[in-house]
Structure 1
Amino acid sequence: MRSNPSSGNATEKVLAVLEALPGHERVTDIAAVTGLPKSTVHRILQTLVERQFALPTGSGNYIGGPRILSLAGQVMGRFNPAQHADAALRRLCRQTGCTVHFALLDADQAVYAAKLEGDKPYQMPSRIGRSIRLHCTGIGKAILAELPPAGVEALLERSGMEARTPNTITELAVLQAELVQVRERGWAYDDEENEPGILCIAAAVHGHTGAVIGGISVATITLDPWHASVESLAELVRESAREVSTALGAQPGSQVE
């Protein structure tokens, strides 16, 4: 748990004010949410204005300044989601012993951005850069569950619902019903729906805007049953998805709990 900025050092106080700026413009409000005296908040804001991290609006209020936008642009220009997700993905791989995937939403499909092999004597046929369909994969269904039903229908009208295996769901109404369950429990299951003999448990990942941007999964083969219950593994996947989402800037309220 983060310490109270009022009892912290000068750096913590400055950071607390910076973090409060996006949602609060008045000195009084910033002081309330940070626990800092108004005089301290005002002094910090004056320094931020001098360095262009804040701008006065002319009515005693403050907003984020151009320097914040400049830094954000520089960071996003070199932003690699897979790199930010790496620690959580490696931990999930160790915890489950399964192959772990991280895929990013790209138009009407998803693309593998990272893959970690588990401690199994076999490897999955997936590869980084490969695109996957959304209606028949664990990650895809986790993503679709975060979209409104009308958006799912429009997407699948464009991409189609090809039968990849005998288990593939090819009827929109059936898939929409499953997506309701995915949304309620916070994870999706691929029961040999994309490739015969392969099972996946997946959860959605959110970005800094709160929108779904992809998902992560653990995968195994039917000849090597899960070493633990699906529910316990799903909770590990959900927790890892939340960790990855946080690493990518998502706020807790935008994530499935």
Structure 2
Amino acid sequence: MSQSVARALDVLDLLSRGVRTLDALSAELGVHKSTVLRLLQTLESRGFAAHDTAHRYRVGPAVFALASDALDAVDVRTAAAPILRALAAETGQTVHLATYQDGVVTYIDKVESRQGLRMYSRIGLPAAIHATAVGKVLLGGLDPAERERVAAGLDLHAFTPRTHVTVAGLLADVAVSAERGWAEDHEEHETFMNCVGAPVHGPDGRVAAAVSISVPNVVLAHDGVLALLPALLEATERISAELGARTPTTASAPTLSPAPPKETP
């Protein structure tokens, strides 16, 4: 790579991380200020950098336009498809991809398991936010205030004795799930099914989608489903990278816990 091109990209990276002055940029790059100034002038001429009257520099509008075009060109379903199918082939279980919009979690892709037992879920159908792994993952990706608002408006229908039926219980579970980097549906939507889910992150670091693995009890016990987490987390990191997430996320190892008692409103 051309040294000038490499340095210009380094300047953009520093600007995006809040390095604003000529002196600071020069110190970070380890080059003379005159060199940095020439790079900044070139970037400004193409709209990739800008500065204010105090000569504090920032990312220019061309960067945002370029990012917007790139995001439009990357569809999460398309990016995830081969990785979802590889995950399903590796585990032999049903794999879902879901997204969130305006209070609704929707399945946008599904790969069936090799088992004879089929799940009710279908591409295009909504998922119960409070009783599915993907629902909890996507709820956990919202800002805290928005998370509480959405949770307060949910119909906390009790699908099974394990389903969350109080907002406080659901939010506590979602907070733990968001902190450790994965969520589970431990017989909360169907008494014979366990699921684990993990987030897919977009270029801005926010949760863009969720992937889950669903397994009937007759195929794997709860502990066996938790043992699939490393494969799931590897898959979601790969999808996140395809979407342009800048850094991989890390999730804590699963810990077994007793089943929560049924909540009462």
Flag the 1:16–1:226 CA change in 2: closer, same or farther, 3 A: farther
- 8 Å Cα contact 1:209-1:250 kept in structure 2: yes
Q: How many residues align?
A: 251
How far, CA to CA, are the matches of 2:38 and 2:32 in structure 1?
A: 10
1:73-129 deviation digits (Å, cap 9, x = unpaired) = 333444412223335434433432222211111122211122233444554432222
Provide the rounded CA distance (Å) in 2 between the counterparts of 1:228 and 1:59: 59
**From 193, 198, 216, the counterpart of 1:221:** 216
Query: How many angstroms apart in 2 are the aligned matches of 1:41 and 1:179?
Result: 46
1:210–1:254: 8 Å Cα contact kept in structure 2? Answer: no
Establish whether residue 71 from structure 1 lines up as the match of residue 62 from structure 2.
Answer: no
Counterpart position of 1:17: 11
* TM-score, length of structure 1 as denominator length: 0.79
Pick one of 21, 25, 30 that aligns with 1:26: 21
Q: Contact 1:207/1:249 (CA < 8 Å) preserved in 2?
A: yes
The question of 1:101 aligning with 2:96 is answered yes
How far off its partner does 1:227 sit?
A: 11
2:155 to 155, 160, 164: 160
CA distance in 1, matches of 2:142, 2:161: 26
> 1:144 and 1:214 mapped to 2: Cα distance?
11
Task: Give yes or no for contact 2:186–2:222 (8 Å, CA) kept in 1.
Answer: no
Alpha-carbon distance, 1:139 to partner: 1.0
Q: Distance in 2 between matches of 1:227 and 1:199?
A: 7
1:101 aligned partner, one-letter code: H
Q: Equivalent residues in 2 for 1:69-218 (5 A)?
A: 69-147=64-142, 151-218=146-213
- C-alpha distance in structure 2 between counterparts of 1:176 and 1:121, whole Å: 35
- 1-structure distance, mates of 2:90, 2:29: 37
Task: Give the drift of 1:202.
Answer: 0.6
Q: CA, structure 1 residues 130+20, in 2 after alignment: closer, same or farther (shift >3 Å)?
A: same
Instruction: Extract unaligned runs of 5+ from structure 1.
Output: none
Q: Quickly say closer, same or farther: Cα 1:56–1:169, change in 2 above 3 A.
A: closer
Gaps of 5+ in 2: 253-265
Deviation at 1:59, TM superposition (A): 3.4
1:62 match: 57
CA distance in 1, matches of 2:108, 2:27: 41
Question: Deviation at 1:152?
Answer: 4.0
Percent of aligned pairs with the same amino acid: 33
SS of residue paired to 1:159: coil
Question: How far apart, in 2, do the equivalents of 1:221 and 1:18 lie?
Answer: 49
